[in-house]
């Protein structure tokens, strides 16, 4: 929907409301001066800072279920990051990480979240942009069967989350120290055939998209940041590294970046100290860790690169559509591996005695690194909580991308320019969870 208004001579303001394919609220304002881009503000509102305040004084056991409510799409990211951070603070991290069963269960539930979130974004939020549809509704009229296949995949992701989390929406199965209970064998056996079928479907769909989608040409010299474990694709564990020399232990990440408040946004803008904006998310993970993909995803990758005529590293964030596809293949294949070896464990939680301590840890949300830190007192109550969600970390880089895009669309009509900027923002699958549901586009001319 658009609302075009011509204002005073020399100044033109355009508002485009109802961008329904972004999670939460935001407003984009482009200021043009003498035909050049003068200012780019992506105004977003992030609620996690409220959570940091009301976590104080809470028992450590409450934290995973409270932080899960920061986001309806990626509760597992908030649960895993808070659990690992608190396990460090409470002195049981090594025992939890050393327990292969707990680790595989955490990887498995995360696979469910990646599948659900990536499929939602790829096929219902982002793909309409690439195929030239105004919305997912208009796309469905022509591609209903493909969307039905995607819904089936998404449901498998939900089922995986429910298998370990007790329910798909705001799962409650994970706890500090592990899980409240392990899945029954019969439920594991029931989901395996669906996963095998889903793996086949997503492999075919990803290759189809690589072969048939045309991507806008916008390459930039990004600093990609992700967890980089030595022996597997990033998800729960590993040092945090970049393609430009960042290489820190998990606990040090909070000191490597700085969060800046800007007047136009309630979300803090993250930058790497001494350098600048950086990108987290599927493109960063794939570029930095593609050699650690599951063998079945690794087998697909060269076919995809050939179809797109682009070798890694990909510097074009519009390719994140395909990166999500590859990661979804990885998540399906990894889930099958874990469940084929599954035997119901005698225990799935490490006992914890409350104590004073501090811990910091990030895990890979579908949108990128979600980093938490907590300080507990001797009773296990939270004294300090600090959360860096991925969308806030990406905000500086989104604005830098928009500068580049704004230059390229300066001659286009406002409505068309707005659509291209919105398409670019959706590359990041921004999760701007809050109570109002649209992005307003505003470009003024002087």
Partner 1 sequence: MPAETILVAACGNVMAADDALGPMVAARLRERQLPGVEVVDLDLRPAGLLDLLIVPRCALIVVDACQIEDDHEKDENLIEMRWRDGGKEAIIHDDVLSTHGLSIANQLEMAEAMDLLPEEAWLELAKIRNATIGDLPSDEIESAAQAIAKRIEQLTEKLHEPAQHA
Nearer to partner 1, 24 or 234 (CB): 24
Least CB distance from residue 135 to partner 1, whole Å?
Answer: 7
Largest Cα–Cα distance of the chain, in whole Å? 75
Least CB distance from residue 192 to partner 1, whole Å?
Answer: 20
Least CB distance from residue 91 to partner 1, whole Å?
Answer: 31
Least CB distance from residue 263 to partner 1, whole Å?
Answer: 22
Query: How far is the C-alpha of 345 from the C-alpha of 100, rounded, in Å?
Result: 10
386: enclosing H helix or E strand? strand 382-388
DSSP for 108-172 reads HHHHHHHHHHHHIIIIIIIHHHHHT-SSHHHHHHHHHHHHHHHHHHHHHHHHHHHHHHSSSSS--
Least CB distance from residue 141 to partner 1, whole Å?
Answer: 6
CB atoms near residue 384 (< 10 Å): 13
Least CB distance from residue 129 to partner 1, whole Å?
Answer: 14
Least CB distance from residue 168 to partner 1, whole Å?
Answer: 7
Nearer to partner 1, 65 or 400 (CB): 65
Least CB distance from residue 153 to partner 1, whole Å?
Answer: 10
Which residues are within 8 A (CB) of 118 and not within 5 positions of it... i.e. 6 or more apart? Answer: 282, 324, 325, 327, 328, 331, 366
Query: How far is the C-alpha of 85 from the C-alpha of 428, rounded, in Å?
Result: 25
Nearer to partner 1, 88 or 324 (CB): 324
Nearer to partner 1, 25 or 373 (CB): 25
- Residues paired with 439 in a beta bridge: 26
CB atoms near residue 72 (< 10 Å): 13
Nearer to partner 1, 161 or 304 (CB): 161
User: Which letter, b or e, does each residue of 123-159 get, where b requires 16 or more Cβ atoms within 10 Å of its Cβ?
Assistant: bbbbbbbbeebeebeebbeebeebbebbeebbbbbbb
CB atoms near residue 403 (< 10 Å): 12
Which residues are within 8 A (CB) of 122 and not within 5 positions of it... i.e. 6 or more apart? Answer: 150, 209, 321, 324, 325, 328
User: CB–CB of 372/52 below 8 Å?
Assistant: no
Query: How far is the C-alpha of 444 from the C-alpha of 330, rounded, in Å?
Result: 44
Nearer to partner 1, 100 or 137 (CB): 137
Least CB distance from residue 36 to partner 1, whole Å?
Answer: 33
Nearer to partner 1, 20 or 410 (CB): 20
Nearer to partner 1, 145 or 343 (CB): 145
Nearer to partner 1, 69 or 220 (CB): 69
Query: How far is the C-alpha of 323 from the C-alpha of 301, rounded, in Å?
Result: 9
**Site residues (CB under 8 A) for partner 1?**
17-18, 20-24, 47, 50, 54, 69, 71-73, 120-121, 124-125, 135-137, 140-141, 144, 147-148, 151-152, 154-155, 158, 168-170, 433-438
């Amino acid at each position: 929907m658009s609302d075009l208004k011509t204002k005073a001579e020399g100044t033109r303001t355009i508002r485009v409301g109802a961008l329904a394919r972004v999670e939460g609220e935001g407003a984009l304002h482009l200021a043009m001066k003498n035909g050049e881009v003068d200012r780019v503000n992506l105004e977003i509102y992030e609620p996690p800072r409220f959570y940091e305040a009301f976590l104080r004084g809470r028992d450590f056991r409450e934290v995973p279920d409270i932080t899960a409510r920061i986001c309806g799409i990626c509760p597992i990211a908030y649960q895993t990051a808070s659990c690992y951070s608190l396990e460090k603070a409470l002195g049981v991290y090594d025992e939890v990480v050393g327990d292969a069963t707990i680790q595989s269960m955490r990887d498995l539930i995360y696979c469910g979240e990646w599948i659900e979130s990536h499929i939602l974004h790829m096929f219902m939020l982002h793909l309409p942009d690439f195929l030239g549809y105004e919305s997912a509704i208009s796309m469905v009229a022509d591609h209903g069967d493909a969307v039905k296949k995607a819904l089936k995949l998404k449901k498998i992701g939900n089922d995986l989350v429910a298998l370990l989390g007790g329910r798909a929406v705001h799962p409650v199965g994970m706890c500090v120290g592990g899980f409240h209970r392990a899945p029954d064998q019969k439920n594991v056996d029931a989901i395996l055939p669906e996963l095998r079928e889903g793996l086949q479907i997503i492999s075919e769909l990803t290759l189809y998209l690589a072969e048939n989608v045309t991507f806008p040409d916008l390459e930039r010299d990004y600093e990609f940041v992700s967890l980089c474990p030595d022996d597997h694709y990033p998800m729960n564990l590993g040092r945090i590294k970049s393609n430009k020399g960042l290489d820190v232990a998990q606990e040090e990440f909070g000191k490597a970046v700085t969060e800046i408040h800007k007047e136009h946004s309630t979300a803090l803008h993250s930058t790497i100290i001494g350098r600048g904006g950086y990108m987290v998310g599927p493109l960063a993970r794939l570029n930095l860790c593609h050699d650690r993909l599951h063998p079945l995803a690794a087998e697909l990758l060269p076919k995809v690169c050939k179809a797109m005529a682009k070798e890694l590293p990909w510097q074009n964030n519009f390719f994140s559509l395909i990166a999500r596809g590859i990661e979804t293949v990885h998540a399906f294949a990894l889930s099958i591996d874990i469940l084929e070896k599954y035997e119901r464990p005698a225990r799935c939680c490490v006992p914890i005695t409350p104590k004073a301590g501090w811990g910091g840890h990030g895990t890979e949300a579908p949108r990128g690194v979600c980093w938490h830190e907590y300080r507990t007192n001797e009773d296990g109550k939270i004294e300090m909580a600090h959360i860096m969600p991925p969308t806030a970390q990406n905000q500086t880089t989104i604005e830098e991308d928009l500068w580049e895009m704004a230059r390229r669309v300066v001659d286009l009509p406002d409505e068309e320019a707005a659509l291209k900027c919105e398409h670019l923002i959706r590359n990041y699958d921004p999760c701007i969870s809050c109570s109002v549901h649209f992005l307003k586009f505003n470009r003024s001319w002087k």
